[in-house]
Structures are given as C-alpha cells and as structure tokens.
Amino acid sequence: MARLCEGRVAIVTGGARGVGREHCLMLAEHGAKVVVNDLGGDRSGKGNDVGPAQQVVDEIKAMGGEAVANGDDVSDWNGAKHMIEQAVEAFGKLDAIVLNAGILRDRMLVNMSEDEWDAVIKVHLKGTFAPARHAAAYWRDQAKLKGGPVDGRIITTTSVSGIYGNIGQTNYGAAKAGIASFTIIAARELGRYGVTVNSISPSAFTRMTEDLREYSEEDKKRRDPKWIAPVATWLVSEDSREVTGRVFQAGNGIFAVAEGWHKGPTVDQIMDPVQAGKVLGEIARKARKNAGMNGLDLD
C-alpha cells in the first residue's frame, strides 16, 4: 500500500479521542510521525489527563509507528509554542498541524452564560490561532533559511453548525464560522511560504455528538470518525499541495466542498432609509436563501 505521508511530521490537537484519534492512527499508518496533543478533559473542557493521548501513542508504537504525547492547552500561547518546539525536538522538523481540539457547551442564546460563551470561543478560535501562528512562524523561518517555499500544512476543523448554522450553538457555531474564515485568510497569507491551509467539517458520531439526537445503527456507521481521517491524511501529504483555502465536508456518506459567501443581488446605494428599505427588502427576497444544516435545503 502506498504511504502518503512517509516521513512527514504532524501534530494533531485533540488527538486522543474520536475524530482526532482516527487522524493520528491513519497518519501513522501512512508513515507520518505524530505528536498526539490532548488536554484530556471532558467534552465541556473541564479536567486534564495526558493518559488518553499516551494511549494513542502506545497504539501507534504497537503498529510500528513513531509518536509522542503532548498535554499542552491549545488555547495557551506558550503551550501552543511548546507544542511546535516539541515536534521539532522529537522528530527534527514539522510538516503539518491538524487543529482538531474542541469542546461543547450548548445553550439557547437567551440562557447562555458568559462562561459558556468564553470557554467555547477560547478553545476553538484561540486554540486554532495560537498553534497555527507558531507553526506559521516556524515555516516562515524555514522558508527564509531554505531560500524558497516549504511544504507545510495547516488543517483546521470547522462545522456545519458554523458554516450553515444550528440552533442552540451560537457560541460553537460562531467559533466554527470564524475558523472557516480564518482558514481562507491564512491560506492567502501563507501561500508565499509554501504553506497550504484547509479546513474539514466532520459529521461524526463521537462523545461530542452522541447525545444531540437519536442515532440509528446505520447513522453511526455513516458517521464513524474513521471516514474523516482520509481527508486529513491526504491534506497532510505532499500530494495536496495544489489545494488551499478550501472547506471540505466529510462523513455521513459524503465528501463535499463547501462554497463560501458570494455577493448576491446588487443595487446602487440610496441615502433615504425609506427608499433604501424598499430596495433592500426587494433584493433580500430575490437572494438565495440560507442553506439548511445539510448544506442544500433552504430555510
């Protein structure tokens, strides 16, 4: 079997369970050396235990691969920096970072607490920014030393809750929509260094989603986290170097590319608010309606 990531070094955040674990195992199966990052908390972000990350490391070593565990908090500036440094110290370089760590604190907007908002935004948005920023700085420096582009990869994790919108998740959805935008902008910024930036929107049955609704056995099979790992593995590989700034959906029986915001019906601007309102109402009715949670049905 061809090994897509032979000799590549990748960090996977939130790598101890669910989707992250499957990323780690498939990357190792395809020859990558893996830093398995996981704080080891519950799905709300409380607690810490490096044990689950070490268990994945042990699994990888048992299959003949190379891996190390990391328990840094992805949303901590210095912890994120240490994560990059650990990869380089352990394996001599860094080729990719898969930003998968996340938590849930779902609540309807009228009942959401400040802490529920802050905790989710911190883990998802800052937990994407901080490791990506330190990895990007590393690759910029490597490009300068090399005198040309490197072959780096940043893979973020978004969600249909953000790119399409899901009731009860204003915090999580806002963070995930922000990550999708972060991906597009970072891709434009880092291309000069030979770094691609893409995002995955997974549909997977994990501890994060198991109690959101009733799942049939067929649902669970279609949403097995293993279906997400091929996308991450290909994006980490050198084969994906021509693709950047994209959001891929994976799981629930499909691979798809999510298409972002586009300008709709347009008119000349008007100063009078009454007249402006008539025109705005008209073009709003003409515009394509927002997608539903499957990305196709209209609200």
CATH 3.40.50.720 residue window(s) in the chain: 9-258
pLDDT above 70 covers a percentage of the chain that reads 89
Number of other CB atoms surrounding residue 106 within 10 Å: 18
Catalytic residue among 159, 199, 201, 240: 159
Amino acid symbol at 45: G
For residue 108, pLDDT over 60 is answered with yes
Beta strands 195-203; 247-251: pairing state? parallel
Catalytic residue among 176, 199, 201, 203: 176
* Residue 105 contacts residue 120 (beta carbons within 8 Å): yes
Tokens of 19: 């989707």
Catalytic residue among 172, 193, 203, 237: 172
**Is the domain covering 9-258 a CATH 3.40.50.720 domain?**
yes
* Residue 37 contacts residue 98 (beta carbons within 8 Å): no
pLDDT, average across residues 61-81: 97
Tell me the whole-structure pTM to 2 decimals. Answer: 0.92
Which residues, 6+ apart, have CB-to-CB distance to 273 below 8 Å? none
For residue 215, pLDDT over 70 is answered with no
Question: What band does 138 get if pLDDT is binned at 50, 70 and 90?
Answer: very high
For residue 217, pLDDT over 80 is answered with no
pLDDT, average across residues 183-211: 85
Amino acid symbol at 292: G
pLDDT, average across residues 61-72: 97
Cα(45)–Cα(120) distance, rounded to whole angstroms? Answer: 9
Mean pLDDT for all residues in the chain: 92
Would you state the pLDDT for residue 42? 57
Helices (H), the chain: 18-29, 51-62, 77-91, 114-121, 127-146, 160, 170-190, 217-222, 229-236, 273-286
- What are the backbone angles phi and psi of residue 236, rounded to the nearest 5°? -70, -30
For residue 45, pLDDT over 60 is answered with no
Beta bridge partners of 201: 249
Would you state the pLDDT for residue 285? 95
For residue 52, pLDDT over 70 is answered with yes
- Assess whether 176 carries a catalytic annotation: yes
